[in-house]
Amino acid sequence: MAAVEVERKRDLQFDEALKMKVAMTAKQGKPGEGLRQYYVQHIHDLQLQVRQKSNNLNRLEAQRNDLNSRVRMLKEELQLLQEPGSYVGEVVKVMGKSKVLVKVHPEGKYVVDIDKSIDITKITPTTRVALRNDSYVLHLVLPSKVDPLVNLMKVEKVPDSTYDMIGGLDQQIKEIKE
């Protein structure tokens, strides 16, 4: 956008200079200058139109490229969404540099290969992992499963008040002590 504004300012300056030149030659009154002025002005107008069309073309090409990249990204996302889901399992035992024993809940335990992109040091027993639907290759290490209700019950900050500070339960405390 800034480049378009700079070019417009330059065009306006060029227009002003050309108008001043045409006005000066018209005042001098040379023979045949009227026709010459007409063609000079017409050429200038056409050059201005060419520059405007060129700027518009550049803007539209940039917009087209942006839309094409967005379409490409959406196609890739759609393809990922249409793939079959992965199986979620839990690592039981690491059996070497490229094999792991994984327990998949309804089906049982499987010895599976590890994808090249997975770091074997991150895999420990009880780690949740994702297995490909078709080949049962371990392709993703998942975060540990935490029940949201349990997470809400955690005490984030221990209160600094005591029972003595709260008060009002002296009668019940005496009964419990007796």
Residue 105 domain boundaries = 87-148
- Residue 108's DSSP bridge partners are 104
Which has more confidence, 119 or 167?
119
Lookup result for tokens 């839309």: 67
What's 120's DSSP letter?
Answer: G
173 within some domain = no
User: For the chain, what is the largest distance between any 2 Cα atoms, rounded to a whole number of angstroms?
Assistant: 128
Counting the structural domains of the chain, the total is: 2
Question: Could you tell me what percent of the chain has a pLDDT over 90?
Answer: 39
Residue 75, pLDDT score: 97
Residue 164, pLDDT score: 67
93 within some domain = yes
Structure tokens at 55: 């700027």
139 within some domain = yes
pLDDT, one tens digit per residue, over 35-83 is 888 899 999 999 999 999 999 999 999 999 999 999 999 999 999 889 8
Residue 73, pLDDT score: 97
Q: Do 72 and 118 have their domain in common?
A: no
